[in-house]
């Protein structure tokens, strides 16, 4: 249990940040699962449209420290690679 007033404030802040971070992680994972589902169902045009929202969720999570910057980059890269592999598209 926190004793000093600054420690009590820190506990409150940590709890608040935890809620925000859990939300960011949840949004990120839902976007990723939704994207993978669209690719698996063969809805490549929709998957390509949802790519920007996936990037946004990953970048926000990385910005706030929910995941590391390189993890976000890896997930984005693998998402595009999956889309290209499944749809038969190659790099321009």
Could you give the angle at which helices 69-87 and 5-41 cross, rounded to 10 degrees?
Answer: 10
Mean pLDDT (the chain, rounded): 94
pLDDT category, 44, cuts 50, 70, 90? very high
CATH number of 5-87: 1.20.58.110
pTM for the full predicted model = 0.84
Sign of the four-CA dihedral 60, 66, 71, 75: negative
pLDDT at 2 over 90: no
Q: Is the pLDDT of residue 89 over 90?
A: no
**In the chain, where the domains are located:** 5-87
pLDDT over 70 (residue 90)? no
């Amino acid at each position: 249990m926190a004793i000093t007033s600054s420690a009590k404030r820190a506990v409150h802040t940590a709890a608040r940040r935890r809620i925000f971070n859990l939300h960011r992680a949840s949004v990120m994972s839902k976007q990723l699962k939704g994207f993978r589902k669209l690719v698996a169902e063969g809805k490549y045009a929709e998957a390509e449209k949802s790519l920007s929202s996936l990037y946004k969720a990953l970048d926000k999570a990385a910005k706030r420290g929910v995941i590391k910057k390189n993890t976000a980059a890896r997930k984005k890269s693998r998402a595009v690679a999956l889309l290209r592999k499944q749809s038969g598209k190659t790099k321009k």
